[in-house]
Amino acid sequence: MTTYIYILGDSETNIWGLSGRKRLQRMLEAMAQTRLVNSPEQIPAHAPALFLRADYLFDARVLVALVNTQTNLGLSSDDGQLVAIRITDGDRAHVLANFMDGGKGEAFSALPRYTLKDLSLLGVQQNLKKRDLPYILLISRDSCRRLEWELFARSYKGVTDLVTKWLWPIPAFWAVRACVGCGIRPNQVTLLSLVFAVLAGVAFWYGHYGMGLVAGWLMTFMDTVDGKLARVTVTSSRFGDVLDHGLDIIHPPLWYMAWGVGLTVPALVNVSDLPMIFWLILIGYVGGRLCEGVFQFWIASFDIFIWRPLDSFNRLVTARRNPNLILLTFGWLIARPDIGLWLVIVWHLLSTIFLAIRVMMGWQARRSEGPLRSWFEEIVPGRDEGKLAVRIFAPLAIRINDRKFTD
């Protein structure tokens, strides 16, 4: 059944270029079985209705829960303010009037009051490979910068490579801010990263490794920026998603092959050895991707890198583009680009062997113990915060407005 949604008011400031009302509209437009209305009178008599305050920042998981619930309820934020009402039956006009009056009135006497903890939303976000707390936060001028940092941090994957996790966040934050200020859209950033990917490949092909590495690192940075820009501005698109992920999958082995061709110019590699090098690159790269796919689609319902803490630590350095770029850069810095390429090939093969072993272990564990669970689902708030893996990949506490919120 369609849920009709009416948004009350607006925020006093913008977060990442969007007012609270505009952000809610973009988030809700992407949800199935919802319809935004400009007036409560547009809501059919017996249809479920959802009223939301636009001066609060809502986690998408909270909105999904409010849309899908089948009961009447009022949702309060951590500061005790009533921020949302779900009505499936009753006098909606009376409830809305009381809601606009600050949640006071007889219409709320029998309305169940919920908080975030009552919604039980703490779980694994498969697309971002992370587990974090849901939120409802007041939008104010004083908290604007802190909220932007919070949204940006939450747009990051919890489990990723060491460059993306620890080197790019601060410069990427300012790059995203510049993009928002200039009206640059995520797809435009993705297209720019495509240009850098092509330039890097061409430079590697002709043996201009320094220029190619500059273009390659810029490409990886743009690849971080476009995703964060899309998430904080709620502008993800099917085309952008396909372009971004397609580019991520296709270009790495082409870079390594081009690097190998470039080595024939100074005769650091014989032309006759190129077919063998190409096959080793493909075996390592495709083998690793196949292991990831087999695990997620045939053994478990989640990514292999969030199965156990060991797998999450492996993702920091496994043979993906950014760790491999470190090896290539090392080879160039010591004036032995051939060594850089061989390091990439060996690391690819070792990483694929490790992943294959983990796939076999996962298959055996499923046979003997039943369906697998991610280690994120086994974290116990109040007990596990001090563990190294939890601190790195799944922190259960966040800071907003100089206050600490824990589950």
pLDDT in tens, 381-396: 778 888 999 889 977 5
Give CA–CA dist 57/151, Å, rounded: 10
125 three-state secondary structure:
strand
Q: Are 80 and 180 members of one domain?
A: no
Residue 283 lies in a domain: yes
> 149 pLDDT exceeds 70?
yes
- Give the alpha-carbon dihedral of 403, 404, 405, 406, to 10 degrees: -170
Domain check: are 55 and 196 in the same one?
A: no
The answer to whether 71 and 89 are in contact (CB under 8 A) is: no
Structure confidence at residue 406 (pLDDT): 35
Residue 21 belongs to a domain: yes
pLDDT at position 98 = 74
Whether 364 and 295 share a structural domain: yes
Say what the pLDDT of residue 404 is. 37
Say what the pLDDT of residue 102 is: 60
CA trace torsion 65, 115, 137, 380 (10° rounding): -90
pLDDT digits (tens, 9 = 90+) for 250-301: 999 999 999 999 999 888 888 889 999 999 999 999 999 999 999 999 999 8
- The verdict on 41 and 160 lying in the same domain is no
Instruction: Give kind and range of the element (H or E) at residue 37.
Output: strand 34-37
> Which domain does 59 fall in, by range?
3-119
- Per-residue pLDDT averaged across 165-179, rounded? 96
Whether residues 181 and 317 share a domain: the answer is: yes
Q: Does the residue 136 lie in any domain?
A: no
- Domain total of the chain: 2
* Helix, coil or strand: residue 11: coil
pLDDT in tens, 77-90: 888 889 999 988 76
Lowest mean pLDDT among 15-19, 162-166, 381-385: 381-385
Average pLDDT over residues 1-10: 91
Of the candidates 270, 164, 256, the one whose C-alpha atom is nearest the C-alpha of residue 213 is 256
Strand-strand pairing, 34-37 and 73-76: unpaired
84 - beta bridge partners? 52, 75
First-to-last alpha carbon distance for the chain, in angstroms, is 32
Distance CA 391, CA 374 (A): 16
Q: Give the residue from 99, 7, 16, 90 showing the smallest Cα distance to 55.
A: 7
Average pLDDT over residues 11-24: 95
pTM of the entire predicted model: 0.89
Q: What is the mean pLDDT of the chain?
A: 89
The pLDDT confidence band at residue 218, using thresholds 50, 70 and 90, is: very high
160 has a pLDDT exceeding 80: yes
Beta strands 49-53 and 403-406: pairing type? unpaired
Clarify whether residues 70 and 171 are in a common domain.
no
CATH number at residue 288: 1.20.120.1760
Q: What per-residue confidence (pLDDT) applies to 399?
A: 37
pLDDT-derived band at 106 (thresholds 50, 70, 90) equals low
The closest alpha carbon to 160, from 397, 320, 292, 355, belongs to 320
Q: Are residues 287 and 333 in the same domain?
A: yes
> Of the candidates 155, 133, 145, 64, which has an alpha carbon nearest to the alpha carbon of residue 52?
64
CA-closest candidate to residue 135, choices 120, 156, 152, 116: 116
Mean pLDDT of 329-341: 97
Alpha-carbon gap, residue 270 to 260, rounded angstroms: 10
Residue 162 has pLDDT above 70, yes or no: yes
- Range ranked top by mean pLDDT from 38-52, 108-122, 231-245, 339-353: 339-353
pLDDT on residue 44: 86
In a domain, 150, yes or no: no
Residue at 334: amino acid letter: I
CB 176 within 8 A of CB 52: no
